[in-house]
Amino acid sequence: MPSSTLRRLPNSELHLDRMLDNTLDTLRAAFASTAARHDADGSFAHDNFALLHRHGLIAQVVPQAHGGGGANLAQARRVVAAVAAGDAATALVLTMTYLQHRAIARDDKRWPSAVAQQVFDSAVSEGALINALRVEPELGSPSRGGLPGTVATRTADGWRLHGRKLYCTGIPALRWLAVWARTDEPQPRVGVFLVPGPVDPVRGIRVIENWNHLGLRASGSHETVLDDVWIPPEFAVDIRLPEQWAPASASQVDADANADQQAWMVVLLGSLYDAVARAGFDWIREFVRTRAPASLGAPLATLPRVQQTTGEIAALLQANRALLDDATRRVDAGQPPSFGDSGLLKFTVTGNAIRAVELALQLAGNHGLRRNNPLERHYRDVLCSRVHTPQDDAILIAAGRHALA
């Protein structure tokens, strides 16, 4: 049952929560049952997104006024964590769609209303996915600065885009591409150009299926080429002079929006990787409870060393929960953490998640490193947390400068 329908039922919030919990439990189990296969062959889990749409969860963050679930961060985080516990790659694609829906709803003064309506309507009716295409071979991540190599040329009837993007998460199923590009004007502007999907070589959108990563192998994060792709004029949804994107020149409204978006990104991604670590924790607890070597004559769980390491994992995950809960409450109260604090949250939560799975592997020994063991997959997936913006070096340099100022 779609989430928007659930929210209109004349039942108590507790009843609705239980219905959602039951749905998420079912989806978690379904996704977990196929995660290893999709990971092994790098295939995109289209069926997972069909299930998410069937339950109204792809449009969960779409405002209720547009037919969506109108989820706040706490609700979106709950869905992402449950999905990630089953299949982290599916959760990553869903997270990117949630972040784009949040940005569009928040930046309604910049996005043309008719265009925003199309994106929202497609999510509600079709389960349409959207993601930002930003990273390029020469530029790297735009968070490090520089003009994109992807160019938008103004024509009499719209815009034409040329460029190449890396790490286009979800590209096998994306309905909308929010492309970061610059104009070819004498004084270039930079921003978001919305390219409708699906992928179609005839229209000039070509995917190079070269995603062969250590982790999140089923995320479909392939390279995408835009070759003379036409879009109508209103699909240049937010383009500005480069300096107008700089934090120092942002208005208070833009600064607040940027802090909110950063916090949503950090909390959702943090919840995703925390959920992967918790899945690893579940596996190792079952393993040490049931593994009883003949030399010991009792389960591994009876050993003080195993108990101590298990307690250390529990402490790391407890810290994550407290940090994520606090940030979520602040965001939903309209008081998101600063950019610096969000960065430190990301650094701490993802570091704790990685360390938790490392400790689980220490307890598992060779068993945990077998390719058919979910713990091995969880470890590869959780390592990917390090590469999301902001990266650790940028976070710590900014924090150090602030502390020393």
The pLDDT tens digits of the residues spanning 73-99 come to 999 999 999 999 999 999 999 999 999
Of all residues in the chain, the percent with pLDDT exceeding 90 is: 85
Bridge-based pairing state of the strands 129-133 and 174-183: parallel
Q: 231 and 310 in one domain?
A: no
* Residue 209 confidence (pLDDT) above 70: yes
Mean pLDDT calculated for residue range 373-380: 98
| Least confident range of 133-142, 172-181, 330-339, 383-392 | 133-142
* Comparison of pLDDT for 198 and 29, the residue scoring more: 29
pLDDT digits (tens, 9 = 90+) for 305-325: 999 999 999 999 999 999 999
Mark which of 100, 127, 154 sits at the end of a domain.
127
Quote the mean pLDDT of the chain. Answer: 93
Question: Any idea what the CATH number is for the domain that residue 387 is in?
Answer: 1.20.140.10
| H-type alpha helices, 42-127 | 46-54, 73-86, 88-106, 113-126
Range of the domain at 155: 132-243
Distance separating alpha carbons of residues 86 and 34, to the nearest angstrom: 9
Residue indicated by tokens 């039922």:
9
25's CB contacts (< 8 A; 6+ apart) are 82
Domain count, the chain: 3
Which of the four pLDDT bands, split at 50, 70 and 90, describes residue 8?
A: very low
- H or E element in which residue 145 lies: none
Dig out the tokens for 390 from the structure. Answer: 């902001």
pLDDT at residue 200, rounded to an integer: 66
Neighbours of 155 (CB within 10 A): 11
Mark which of 243, 262, 288 sits at the end of a domain.
243
Chain Cα centroid distance, residue 316:
22
Pick from 377, 386, 403, 380: nearest CA to 352 = 386
297's CB contacts (< 8 A; 6+ apart) are none
Distance separating alpha carbons of residues 342 and 328, to the nearest angstrom: 11
Q: 253 and 400 in one domain?
A: yes
Neighbours of 137 (CB within 10 A): 11
Question: Any idea what the CATH number is for the domain that residue 198 is in?
Answer: 2.40.110.10
Residue 114's identity, in one-letter code, is A
Pick from 118, 121, 91, 390: nearest CA to 261 = 390
pTM comes to 0.94
Q: 331 and 392 in one domain?
A: yes
Dig out the tokens for 26 from the structure. Answer: 């079912």
Residues linked to residue 152 through DSSP beta bridges, in sequence order: 161, 183
* Residue 10 confidence (pLDDT) above 60: no
Find the Cα–Cα–Cα–Cα dihedral 203, 204, 208, 209, rounded to 10°: -10
Which of the four pLDDT bands, split at 50, 70 and 90, describes residue 252?
A: confident
Residue indicated by tokens 């502390």:
403
Q: 169 and 115 in one domain?
A: no
Mean pLDDT calculated for residue range 250-271: 89
* Longest alpha-carbon distance in the chain: 80
Mark which of 127, 156, 185 sits at the end of a domain.
127
Is residue 146 helix, strand or coil? coil
Mean pLDDT calculated for residue range 354-358: 98
